[in-house]
Amino acid sequence: MKFSDSFFQAVCDYRYLLEHNYPLKSMLKLVGDRYALASIERVMLYRGLAKKEEVALRQEKMINHIPQHAEIFLDGFNVCRTLGSYLNGNPVFVGMDGFLRDVSELHRKKLKWEILDKSMELVLGYLKEKEVSFARFYFDTPISHSGKMCEMTRQKMKTINLSGEALTVFSPDHELVQPKQGIVCTADSNIIAHARTAVFDLPRQLLKEKFSARLFSFPEYIEEKNCE
């Protein structure tokens, strides 16, 4: 991933403003315009950086592996679209909190069904390999094809004999902050912040284990550049 010459300084300035509680949209425009950042660089600042306190709280909930026989609750579209973005050749990166994110808002075209199908196949195969006891997927009702995604997920789980279910709900966020045990799979900052149980970044670990993916990482970038 190649950046403009001023990206590093933009990262430092944006982090400083974050810690001093400037309005997000205002400082994104301020920093983005000052350094003439490309659209993808602006999205990466917005989605990849957070206040140190927020980063610490999210990392406290993060786990790096799934224990055998765990019950899993998945943010269906979040997981599949992040993985699908990588499969589609779109940029994905590791945020300061350690969670994998994409720049999907820059790509107005929806991911092709074949990509989403392949993503789900990989996700379910991974869960089967980890011997989870039950997997429950939540898909956003307002998003088109949510019903189709549910049906596809159910069929694939049945094919590989994986216990679980797929549901369409108005707000996966609400559902995913309810469990007090088991593991939640998402990279949604709001869900992570309010989750009552451990959170697992399935796309990042899957790409690491199955694809040996080399991903841009904000923590590594900032440490290398020594941006305090």
**Strand pairing partners for 165?**
136
81, HSE (Cβ side, Cα atoms, 13 Å): 22
Residue range 42-59: average pLDDT? Answer: 96
pLDDT over 80 at 108, yes or no: no
Dihedral sign computed on CA atoms, order 30, 34, 35, 37: positive
Would residue 127 count as lying in a domain?
yes
Count the domains in the chain: 2
Q: What is the pLDDT of residues 183-200, one digit of tens each?
A: 999 999 999 999 999 999
Residues 103 and 190 in one domain: yes
Residue 93 neighbours by CB distance under 10 Å:
19
Would residue 138 count as lying in a domain?
yes
Would residue 1 count as lying in a domain?
no
Residues 96 and 191 in one domain: yes
pLDDT over 90 at 107, yes or no: no
Spatial separation of the C-alpha atoms in residues 156 and 221, rounded to whole Å: 38
Would residue 107 count as lying in a domain?
yes
Residues 18 and 118 in one domain: no
pLDDT over 90 at 105, yes or no: no
Per-residue confidence at 2, pLDDT binned at 50, 70, 90? Answer: confident
Residues 30 and 81 in one domain: no
Would residue 122 count as lying in a domain?
yes
66, HSE (Cβ side, Cα atoms, 13 Å): 30
Write down the pTM of the prediction. Answer: 0.94
Residues 185 and 83 in one domain: yes
Domain that holds residue 38: 7-57+217-225
Would residue 36 count as lying in a domain?
yes
Question: What CATH code is carried by the domain that includes residue 129?
Answer: 3.40.50
**Strand pairing partners for 94?**
100, 217
